[in-house]
């Protein structure tokens, strides 16, 4: 009989009460930080269990689990390994439904530890208790706002789910995801996985509608055949991204001593992952890169890519990374080159990658992607240096200051009133007059262009149409429109009591450019991957993320393309 995995693991991910065995006031023990983690996150009843203390971190403590007056859905263990079996017996008697055993000293330490682990497993199964671990670092469930971590971790809710056989790797990915603006609906450090197996978690994540992308760090599997069967059922509807070490003898030995797992043949794993449609990555950075790609981009229909770059050398590196990975840098049609001749100076590269050769006309930069994306031979676009376009805000400020110094007060006042008049027209999305909105946006873009010394305004109309469409579809958000009003008020007052004018302009530029990228993706149904020119950590803004190099962007596109090819090959094209 098939198990309903969502129901089976329900008490684990959505417990109505929690007992913590080994909770303590001793700051030198893991029981202190673990219950602190629970108290800071979980809103249901928490029952500390400690034979030596009457009160722990403000909560009444109990000598045994069976002393707790109310029902217990989840038991958290941070006691020595040799005591876990006896307390698990108490949990069976109490009617506990699930557990997480953070305690170490089981299969990972050798035969004696494995014997102890098997004893705990036998007791738990007799009481129908499903448990995480042992030898793990805890877990997170956003649906119950429960963090049972042995150390504090920054984590937020989101569309990712992650099971990790390594606690430190798992913690690093969760925190790195937080810093990128990514959230996890579920995160499990599974440790030795004595009871709930890695494939059980993946099956659960696959059936959870809140989870969009599944991540897994795997050192070894107890049942490779079942793992394959489960993952093959999940990958047609959700990407499964796997980090699996063990390619070298040293790594295989380290795996055995760390989690007690057998690394297995790396070639067999590699072939199996491809057959299942799982995506194998080299490191945690790539794991998160690809997760972001799946969350923010449509799948490319083919391998042909166009590249636009404000700097030729970065375009060269990006093109090389694309070709080395199996992507194809498309040859631009003659007609497209002629179109780009009209908006770029004669010195532009006149090929793909498209390099305007230092042209400062930001309007032309925003028009060029349209010329590339509309080509049938282009499956995706990489926009190099996009995250550095806030440099335009500095140029804008310089030009604005120079112009306003030459203007009479009444001229400045007229410009301020013009900006104020634009805002309500663009703000009105409930009963909009799109002709008026187009005119207002065009006027705003002309102001920006003139501030930056751009005299050729022929492309403003085209860009205005895209901005209006972005506003119509909700891609251009209210805060971007409000930046215009705040800037007008700051100009009228000769300053601002809140943000500086430079900060407001920067916010507006970022919001406007992000809206344009989102609109390009929505209109053309093609990936648009953007990059910065630095290794500085960037954050997900809405549905937009800038990668820090063309190589990373190319790797993301390569994996998205491979997943598309898998779906087409197997006829399981539910994501296309």
**Mean pLDDT estimate for the chain:** 89
Which of 120, 127, 133 lies closest to 76, judged by CA? Answer: 133
Quote the pLDDT of residue 262. Answer: 47
d(CA 337, CA 228): 48
User: Within 13 Å of residue 147, how many CA atoms lie on the same side as its CB?
Assistant: 19
Structure tokens, 121? 């497993």
Q: Are 465 and 471 in contact (CB under 8 A)?
A: no
pLDDT(172) > 60: yes
Quick one: average pLDDT of 317-330?
A: 95
**pLDDT at residue 511, as a whole number:** 87
- Rounded to whole angstroms, the Cα distance separating 59 from 239 reads 42
CA-closest candidate to residue 150, choices 123, 124, 170, 173? 170
Residue 22: which region, alpha, beta or left (left: phi > 0; alpha: psi -120 to 50)? left
pLDDT of 518 above 90: yes
Q: Which long-range CB contacts under 8 A does 433-439 form with residues at least 24 apart? A: 434/468, 434/472, 437/468, 437/471, 438/464, 438/465, 438/468
Distances (CA, A) of 527 to 134, 293, 302, 531, 554: 42, 9, 11, 13, 11
Structure tokens at 9: 């693991």
- State the architecture of 1-134 in CATH terms: 3-Layer(aba) Sandwich (3.40)
Q: Which among 157-161, 533-537, 548-552 has the top mean pLDDT? A: 157-161
299-388+525-570 fold: Rossmann fold (3.40.50)
Question: How many other C-beta atoms lie within 10 A of the C-beta of residue 257?
Answer: 10
Q: Give the pLDDT of residue 506.
A: 79
Ordered by start, the domain boundaries in the chain are 1-134, 153-296, 299-388+525-570, 391-523
DSSP per-residue string spanning 128-195: T-EEE-SS--EEEEGGGTEEEESS-------SEEEEESSHHHHHHHHHHHHHHT--EEEEEE-TT-SS
Q: How far is CA 99 from the centre of its chain?
A: 28
Q: Name the CATH architecture for the domain at 153-296.
A: 3-Layer(aba) Sandwich (3.40)
User: Ramachandran region of residue 223, left (φ > 0), alpha (ψ -120 to 50) or beta?
Assistant: beta
Chain-centroid distance of CA 238 in Å reads 15
**For tokens 């990972």, what's the residue?**
108
User: Does position 278 have pLDDT exceeding 70, yes or no?
Assistant: yes
What pTM value is reported for the model? 0.90
Beta bridge partners of 329: 305
Query: What is residue 359's DSSP assignment?
Result: -
Residues 6+ positions from 244 with CB-CB distance below 8 Å: 217, 218, 219, 266, 269, 273, 280
pLDDT value at residue 197: 97
Six token digits for residue 525: 């149904």
pLDDT for position 258:
44
Of 406, 400, 418, the closest CA to residue 488 belongs to 418
pLDDT tens figures, 27-47 = 999 999 999 999 999 999 999
Both tokens of 38, joined, read 């629970």
> Closest Cα to residue 37, out of 189, 196, 203, 173?
189
Contact 74, 19 (CB under 8 A): yes
- Contact call for residues 338 and 330 (beta carbons, < 8 A): no
Q: 413: which 2 tokens? A: 């006042």
Number of Cβ within a 10 Å radius of residue 167: 24
* Look-up of token digits 């490191």: 283
Q: How far apart are CA 36 and CA 180, in angstroms?
A: 25
Q: How far apart are the first and last CA of the chain?
A: 33
User: What pLDDT was estimated at residue 251?
Assistant: 46
DSSP H or E segment with residue 110:
none
Residue 391, class by beta-carbon neighbours within 10 Å (0-12 exposed, 13-18 middle, 19+ buried)? middle
Structure tokens at 326: 């199996």
Mean pLDDT, range 83-98, rounded to an integer: 98
CA distance 560 to 573: 13
Q: What is the pLDDT of residues 368-408, one digit of tens each?
A: 999 999 999 999 999 998 876 655 555 555 555 555 556 66
Q: What DSSP assignment string belongs to 312-358? A: HHHHHHHHHHHHHHT-EEPPPPHHHHHHHHTTS-TTS-SSSSB--SS
Per-residue model confidence as pLDDT tens digits over 332-342: 999 999 999 99
Q: Which is it for strands 74-77 and 98-101: parallel, antiparallel or unpaired?
A: parallel
Cβ-count burial of 399 within 10 angstroms (0-12 exposed, 13-18 middle, 19+ buried)?
A: middle
> 573 falls in which pLDDT band (50, 70, 90)?
low
6 SS3 class: helix
Alpha carbons 63 and 68: distance in angstroms, whole number: 9
pLDDT of 1 > 70? The answer is no
Q: Which two tokens stand for residue 464?
A: 């205005």
Q: What percent of the chain has pLDDT over 90?
A: 65
Strand 304-308 and strand 380-383: the pairing is: parallel
> 3-state class of 18 per DSSP?
strand
pLDDT for residue 250 is more than 60: no
> Can you read off the two tokens belonging to residue 222?
């107890």
**C-alpha gyration radius of the chain:** 28
* φ and ψ of 12, to 5 deg: -75, -50
153-296 and 299-388+525-570 have identical folds? yes
Taking CA atoms, 152 is separated from 96, 169, 550, in Å, by 25, 15, 34
pLDDT bucket at 295, cuts 50 / 70 / 90: very high
């Amino acid at each position: 009989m098939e198990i309903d995995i969502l129901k089976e693991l329900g008490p684990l991910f959505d417990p109505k009460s929690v007992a913590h065995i080994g909770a303590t006031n001793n700051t030198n023990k893991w029981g202190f930080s673990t219950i602190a983690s629970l108290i800071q996150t979980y809103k249901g009843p928490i029952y500390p269990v400690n034979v030596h203390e009457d009160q722990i971190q403000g909560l009444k403590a109990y000598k045994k689990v069976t002393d707790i007056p109310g029902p217990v859905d989840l038991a958290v263990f941070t006691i020595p390994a040799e005591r876990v079996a006896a307390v698990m017996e108490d949990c069976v008697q109490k009617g506990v439904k699930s557990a997480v055993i953070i305690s170490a000293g089981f299969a990972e330490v050798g035969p004696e530890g494995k014997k102890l682990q098997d004893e705990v497993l036998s007791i738990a199964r007799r009481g129908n208790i499903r448990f995480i671990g042992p030898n793990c670092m805890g877990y997170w469930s956003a649906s119950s706002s429960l963090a049972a971590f042995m150390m504090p971790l920054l984590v937020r809710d989101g569309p990712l789910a992650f099971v990790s056989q390594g606690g430190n790797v798992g913690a690093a990915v969760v925190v790195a995801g937080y810093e990128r603006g990514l959230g996890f609906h579920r995160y499990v450090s599974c440790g030795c996985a004595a009871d709930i197996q890695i494939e059980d978690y993946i099956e659960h994540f696959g059936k959870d509608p809140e989870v969009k992308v599944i991540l897994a760090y795997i050192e070894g599997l107890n049942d490779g055949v079942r793992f394959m069967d489960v993952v093959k059922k999940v990958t047609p509807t959700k990407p499964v991204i796997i980090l699996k070490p063990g390619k070298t003898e040293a790594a295989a030995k380290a795996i055995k001593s760390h989690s007690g797992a057998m690394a297995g043949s790396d070639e067999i794993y590699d072939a199996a992952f491809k057959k299942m449609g799982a995506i194998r990555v080299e490191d945690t950075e790539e794991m998160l890169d690809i997760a972001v790609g799946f969350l923010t981009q449509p799948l490319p229909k083919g391998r042909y890519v166009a590249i636009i770059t404000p700097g030729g050398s970065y375009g060269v590196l990006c093109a090389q990374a694309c070709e080395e990975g199996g992507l194809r840098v498309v040859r631009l049609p003659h007609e497209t080159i002629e179109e780009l001749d009209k908006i770029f100076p004669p010195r532009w590269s006149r090929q793909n990658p498209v390099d305007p050769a230092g042209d400062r006309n930001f309007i032309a930069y925003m028009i060029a992607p349209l010329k590339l994306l509309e080509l049938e031979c282009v499956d995706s676009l990489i926009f190099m240096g996009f995250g550095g376009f806030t440099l335009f805000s500095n140029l804008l400020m310089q030009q604005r200051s120079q112009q306003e110094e030459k203007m009479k007060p009444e001229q400045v006042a007229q410009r301020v009133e013009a900006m104020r008049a634009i805002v309500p027209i663009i703000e009105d999305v409930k009963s909009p007059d799109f002709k008026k909105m187009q005119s207002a946006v065009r006027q705003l873009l002309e102001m920006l262009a003139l501030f930056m010394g751009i005299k050729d305004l022929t492309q403003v109309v085209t860009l205005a149409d895209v901005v209006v469409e972005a506003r119509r579809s909700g891609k251009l958000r209210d805060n971007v429109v409000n930046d215009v009003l705040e800037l007008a008020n700051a100009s009228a007052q000769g300053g601002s009591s809140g943000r500086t004018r430079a900060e407001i302009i920067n916010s507006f530029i970022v919001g406007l450019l992000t809206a344009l990228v989102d609109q390009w993706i929505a209109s053309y149904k093609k990936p648009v991957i953007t990059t910065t020119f630095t290794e500085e950590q960037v954050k997900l803004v809405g549905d937009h993320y800038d990668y820090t190099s063309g190589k990373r962007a190319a790797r993301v596109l390569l994996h998205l393309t491979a997943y598309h090819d898998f779906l087409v090959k197997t006829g399981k094209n539910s994501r296309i």
